[in-house]
A = this chain, B = another copy of it.
């Protein structure tokens, strides 16, 4: 595949519009009784109509057999090698609560936990305390001050919080304090490289002060930290493709990922109808739109086959407003599969379709796993989607004379 430097040389700005509709967790597995997957079970005339006019295939977000987290799944769709651009857990946690990480910020994932009077961990999640309690404790920990660094302690959910350090000369090259098992004491955070010595001291000071503050609390009387990381340098979609991109997503995590690759975040509502109305409203202002639809993944993770089918049907019903915009390129796919039978993200390749005046349609007449298998794109890496979309939008010059 050509690299970003070559892409920059052939990409051009035009008036054509590209829309990526990402149906989170859309791929599935057959229901044991019917032998049909969620997509095969859904009534979805609009998705099927798009399939008939599209070039279809199946994507591997990372590589065969590898189950993607949400971050690598989306980065691959946006054209970034998800192994090379591996985003740390701390950063993901901060993105997931819409925190605007600045370059140089260090983020970690935090757990409230329970230690006994010898200092040994007896519950790594403090019995999953309520988010309310978490919020109150984070407010207490936010009072901690350490010279030369700004500290953010941000509640996430239940026992989980994000810690962000902002200051000069910080480094994320730190070991975890979380030993990942009970019966041990939380570990001292150590610098994995000499640049991180100062940061290690700061973090250990934070942990000591946190322990002091939480001493009287029960069950959440200590913190565990892991996944220290900072916002990676990722060339933006504008730099690589000369696009003016915007994201329409209801969940903070996906807005965060979109922000990482340089998309403008458009305020929107909770429902797909509201999201698509946001799309119509801003259609003239951008040339690339990422629309994220979350519920098929959530229903898949619940293990609720029927609810996932209904989420797909809900999407299908909302599609006419998108189709009426008639984007020059419409991509419909997912960031990974979430089969309801497995009730988790999975490694199975994800159905894909690209509709454009200039695509070479195949014989696929239905949007499903089995149907897309015989599509014109076959099985292919998700990182090839962006060049294909750009080409079909006539936004790429030829390569070489």
Binds B, one of A80-88, A110-118, A120-128: A80-88
Task: Tell me if A62 counts as interface (CB < 8 A to partner B).
Answer: yes
Considering only residues 204-248 of chain A, those with a C-beta below 8 Å from chain B are 227
With A362-B373, A401-B92 in contact, do A65 and B30 touch (Cβ < 8 Å)?
no
B64–A387 CB distance below 8 A: yes
B66–A360 CB distance below 8 A: no
Task: Tell me if A166 counts as interface (CB < 8 A to partner B).
Answer: no
Task: Tell me if A139 counts as interface (CB < 8 A to partner B).
Answer: no
B361–A30 CB distance below 8 A: yes
Task: Tell me if A355 counts as interface (CB < 8 A to partner B).
Answer: no
Binds B, one of A185-193, A275-283, A388-396: A388-396
In whole angstroms, what is the CA distance A88 to B92 when docked?
43
| Max chain B Cβ within 10 angstroms of own Cβ: one of A3, A63, A342, A389 | A63
Q: Which of B3, B344, B360, B378 contacts A369 (CB 8 A)?
A: B360
With A400-B82, A400-B87 in contact, do A65 and B360 touch (Cβ < 8 Å)?
no
Residue of B nearest to A10 (CB): B66
Considering only residues 71-89 of chain A, those with a C-beta below 8 Å from chain B are 71-73, 82-83, 86-87, 89
In whole angstroms, what is the CA distance A391 to B65 when docked?
5
In whole angstroms, what is the CA distance A384 to B347 when docked?
12
B29–A66 CB distance below 8 A: no
How far in angstroms is the closest Cβ of chain B from A347?
4
Q: Which of B67, B378, B386, B390 contacts A391 (CB 8 A)?
A: B67
Q: Which residues of B contact A396 (CB under 8 A)?
A: 65-67, 347
In whole angstroms, what is the CA distance A69 to B67 when docked?
32
With A2-B62, A391-B66 in contact, do A89 and B401 touch (Cβ < 8 Å)?
yes
Residue of B nearest to A88 (CB): B401
A399–B67 CB distance below 8 A: yes
How far in angstroms is the closest Cβ of chain B from A35?
9
Task: Tell me if A202 counts as interface (CB < 8 A to partner B).
Answer: no
A63–B387 CB distance below 8 A: yes
In whole angstroms, what is the CA distance A263 to B372 when docked?
39
With A384-B64, A387-B66, A391-B347 in contact, do A358 and B401 touch (Cβ < 8 Å)?
no
A68–B399 CB distance below 8 A: yes
With A66-B396, A82-B400, A360-B29 in contact, do A374 and B374 touch (Cβ < 8 Å)?
yes
- Over the window 333-376 of chain A, the binary record of Cβ atoms lying under 8 Å from chain B Cβ atoms (1 yes, 0 no) is 00000000010111110000000001011110000011001101
| Max chain B Cβ within 10 angstroms of own Cβ: one of A62, A69, A360, A400 | A400
B64–A399 CB distance below 8 A: no
Q: Which of B63, B68, B87, B388 contacts A1 (CB 8 A)?
A: B63
How far in angstroms is the closest Cβ of chain B from A331?
12
In whole angstroms, what is the CA distance A225 to B29 when docked?
56
Q: Kindly list 9 other residue pairs between chains A and B, CB separation below 8 angstroms, not including A1-B63, A92-B401.
A: A2-B62, A30-B360, A63-B384, A68-B400, A83-B399, A89-B401, A347-B396, A362-B370, A378-B379
A-B contact pairs, 29 of them (CB 8 A): A1-B64, A10-B66, A29-B358, A37-B360, A62-B399, A63-B384, A64-B377, A64-B384, A65-B391, A65-B396, A67-B397, A67-B399, A68-B398, A68-B400, A69-B398, A69-B400, A71-B400, A83-B399, A89-B401, A93-B401, A227-B401, A346-B391, A347-B388, A360-B369, A362-B373, A363-B370, A374-B374, A377-B379, A378-B378
Q: 7 shortest A-B CB distances, which residue pairs? A: A65-B387, A69-B400, A72-B400, A65-B391, A67-B398, A92-B401, A65-B388
